[in-house]
Amino acid sequence: MLIDWGYETRLIDRIAVRQAAAALTSRERRVLTRYYGRDETLDEVGKHEGVTKERVRQLITHAIPKLQARIAAEPLRPTARTTPPPGFDKQAFLRHMRGLIEQRETLARERIAEREAYERDVYARERKSLDAIMRREELAGLFDPPPPPKPKLPPPPYVPPKPLPYVPAAAPAQHVEPWFNPARQPTVGDMRCIAQYALGYLLAILPPQQYGSGTMGTHAAHVICARDADAIATAMQSLKRAMPNTARLSAVKLDVPKDLLAASIGDHRGAIRVASLDSGRQVSLEVTWT
């Protein structure tokens, strides 16, 4: 049998609250009951009482000190008596209380039994549904063992591939700039392109301190080579060797005679003159330095 050991304490607390509530008005009691007993908000209490939430807050603020003062002035009077009041049957009271406790425990056991029966029923329904699903899957053959693997066929006999006939690869065609094409008669524009190539190569192999003079050179170097990129690069190497280490390449362009197929180009780093010789098969390269 379950025994409610806190019943007497709760009963004493309720008696104390009833004694202290005698100092409050009916509205204050209703407001405190709704706010603390039913966990209603200030707005909800105000709607029931027909006042604003600020008025409800004021009622609670004034009611709590009244309760505290009443409890401090009149502590709880003990309800136990040495002698029962007239007409009080203690044995009947005890039988009545025991009956209430037994009824509550009986009701709790019934609810537990109902809950257990409900859970057993739910489990039985779910198990029945799962059994039906498994039977359908078994009839559909989902639980049958997999078929044996098919025997592997032997690999086909090896047949060596037929050798392919050897075809030599064609040599890649070399790209030749039109101004270096010996089969083409050069023009002034071709001479200018050749001069640009030669000057760029020469500046690339010279150190910076050896070019950039702003005056006409007092010394000159002249070389003749084939109208070919490799030949011109070799000629620029020979021009570099002809210049001493202290020389500075002149940036002043040389004059071009009118009756000569030639071009003279230059910038702040240096200048060069290129002329066509032997019907364009050869070129003349000329630079000056100080």
Q: How confident is the model at residue 111 (pLDDT cuts 50, 70, 90)?
A: very high
CB 285 within 8 A of CB 191: no
User: What are the tens digits of pLDDT across the range 148-207?
Assistant: 888 888 888 888 888 878 777 766 656 678 888 888 899 999 999 999 999 999 999 999
Kindly state the average pLDDT of the residues 105-129. Answer: 92
Does residue 205 form part of some domain?
yes
Residue 200 sits in the same domain as residue 285: yes
- 260 Cβ neighbours under 8 A, 6+ residues apart: 275, 276
Which of 64-73, 119-128, 209-218 is modeled with the greatest confidence?
Answer: 119-128
Does residue 82 form part of some domain?
no
Does residue 107 form part of some domain?
yes
Model confidence at 83: pLDDT above 70: no
Residue 105 sits in the same domain as residue 73: no
Residue 183 sits in the same domain as residue 237: yes
Q: Angle CA(154)–CA(155)–CA(161) in degrees, nearest 5? A: 155
What percent of the chain shows pLDDT beyond 70?
A: 88
Residue 231 sits in the same domain as residue 266: yes
The reported pLDDT for the residue numbered 11 is 62
Out of 37, 54, 77, a domain closes at: 77
Residue 129 sits in the same domain as residue 206: no
Residue 122 sits in the same domain as residue 39: no
Model confidence at 113: pLDDT above 80: yes
Model confidence at 125: pLDDT above 90: yes
Does residue 254 form part of some domain?
yes
User: Cα separation of 185 and 279, whole Å?
Assistant: 7
Kindly state the average pLDDT of the residues 78-89. Answer: 61
Residue 201 sits in the same domain as residue 115: no
Residue 260 sits in the same domain as residue 186: yes
Q: Count of domains in the chain?
A: 3
The reported pLDDT for the residue numbered 8 is 60
CATH classification of the domain holding 33: 1.10.10.10
- 280 Cβ neighbours under 8 A, 6+ residues apart: 182, 184, 185, 186, 227, 261
User: pTM of the full predicted structure?
Assistant: 0.42
Model confidence at 3: pLDDT above 70: no
User: What are the tens digits of pLDDT across the range 200-247?
Assistant: 999 999 998 888 888 888 999 889 999 999 999 999 999 899 888 889
Q: How confident is the model at residue 119 (pLDDT cuts 50, 70, 90)?
A: very high
Does residue 154 form part of some domain?
no
User: What are the tens digits of pLDDT across the range 242-263?
Assistant: 888 889 999 999 899 888 899 9
Does residue 55 form part of some domain?
yes
In angstroms, the Cα distances linking 58 to 20, 52, 53, 61, 67 are: 19, 10, 9, 5, 15
The reported pLDDT for the residue numbered 37 is 82
Strands (E), 184-258: 211-213, 219-226, 249-250
Q: How confident is the model at residue 1 (pLDDT cuts 50, 70, 90)?
A: very low
Out of 77, 103, 126, a domain closes at: 77
Residue 52 sits in the same domain as residue 131: no
Does residue 172 form part of some domain?
no
Residue 71 sits in the same domain as residue 117: no
Q: How confident is the model at residue 84 (pLDDT cuts 50, 70, 90)?
A: low
CB 205 within 8 A of CB 240: yes
Out of 54, 77, 100, a domain closes at: 77
Residue 96 sits in the same domain as residue 67: no
Residue 193 sits in the same domain as residue 278: yes
Does residue 50 form part of some domain?
yes
Domain limits at 12? 8-77
